[in-house]
A and B are shown apart, each in its own frame.
Chain A
Amino acid sequence: MIGEALKGHLDLLLLAILAEGPAHGYGMIETLRRRSRGAFDLPEGTIYPALHRLEGQSFLSSDWTEEKGRRRRIYRLTPKGRQALTKHQQEWQKFSQAVNATIEM
């Protein structure tokens, strides 16, 4: 249930994580899992198509770096990505307020 619901909001979550600083795919998965206290435990590989799409939309940029002999692709939020994040956040606020207002007894 949470996994399915997460699919529609993955872009927002990835952009929000990268708003705090550059990160690689594995690091983002770890952050997602930690911040959601394990609730957002999606198959790790599914974030890469989303990251590549966001990069194709110029919301992210990426560079390869090498650390301790291991190559990593580090993603960064672009100014366009920051704008997209603000828009997604506003939409989410509206949506969650509407859902809360509807389900509150």
Chain B
Amino acid sequence: MKKMSSYLRTLKRTLWLRGMADAEILSEIESHLLEAVEQGLHQGLDAEEAEQRAIERFGSVRMIVGSFEKERINTMNKVLLLVAILCGLFLAYVDSRPHWDDAGITAGGLLISAGLVTLLGHPRPWLIGLAVGLWIPLLYIFRNQEFSMLLVLLIPLVGAYAGWGVRLGIRKTLHLA
């Protein structure tokens, strides 16, 4: 079972590097491969051929990790969007308090929270910019019909695109290294 062990080791390492190592996933995959090897042996293949075929049919490590990553990204993006909305609502609440008079801190909060969410991996900076920044203008429009407050949206949009750019830079650097 040399090939299978090597395949499982590579899979484990790659999943671990992507932050997805899970003993249950690996155990399930090992059980699947053992069953596939057994099936191959029943069909008259020798042990090495049965192992090779089981691995080929299962798919390359890259493909399998990619499939898990895709599922995880979909879930993680929803969580990040929710975090962005909550940050935006919190900042709007703070900004709406009667004695709050520090626009710089509000602006910094919008910039940093939007930047962090895209830095953590959300792929749509425009959406995160809106999710973080829409609440303050809406509040001002609702209360005082101040449409000029829509300009505030620029701050989280700049933050979101900056975070996204930094993330792309990091990925490129790691890829080239």
A residues near B, CB below 8 A? 24-26, 43-46, 48-50, 52-53, 56, 70-73
Contact = CB atoms under 8 A, between A and B. Distances in A.
Interface in B12-59: 24-25, 27-29, 31-32, 34-36, 57-59
A45 B67 contact: yes
Contact of B59 (A44, A53, A70): A44
Contacts of A24: 31
A45 B59 contact: yes
Contacts of B86: none
Interface in B52-98: 57-60, 63-64, 67-68, 70-71, 74-75
Interface residues of B, number: 22
A44 B36 contact: yes
Nearest to B24: A73
A49 B25 CA distance: 9
- Majority DSSP secondary structure for residues of B touching A: helix
Given A45-B29, A53-B74, 13 more contacts: A26-B32, A26-B36, A43-B57, A44-B32, A44-B58, A45-B63, A45-B64, A49-B68, A52-B25, A56-B75, A70-B34, A71-B27, A73-B27
Residue among B29, B31, B70, B75 with most chain A CB within 10 A: B31
Interface string B107-144: 00000000000000000000000000000000000000
Given A44-B36, A44-B58, A52 B71 contact: yes
A45 B22 CA distance: 15
Nearest to B72: A49
B71 A49 contact: yes
Contacts of A73: 24, 27-28, 31
Contacts of B58: 43-45
Nearest to A33: B57
23 contacts: A25-B32, A26-B32, A26-B35, A44-B36, A44-B58, A44-B59, A45-B32, A45-B67, A46-B59, A46-B64, A46-B67, A48-B32, A48-B64, A49-B64, A49-B71, A50-B71, A52-B25, A52-B68, A52-B71, A53-B71, A53-B74, A71-B27, A73-B24
Interface in B154-177: none
A44 B31 CA distance: 13
Contacts of A70: 31, 34-35
A49 B31 contact: no
Nearest to A53: B71
A25 B27 CA distance: 12
Nearest to B27: A71
B88 to A, nearest CB: 26
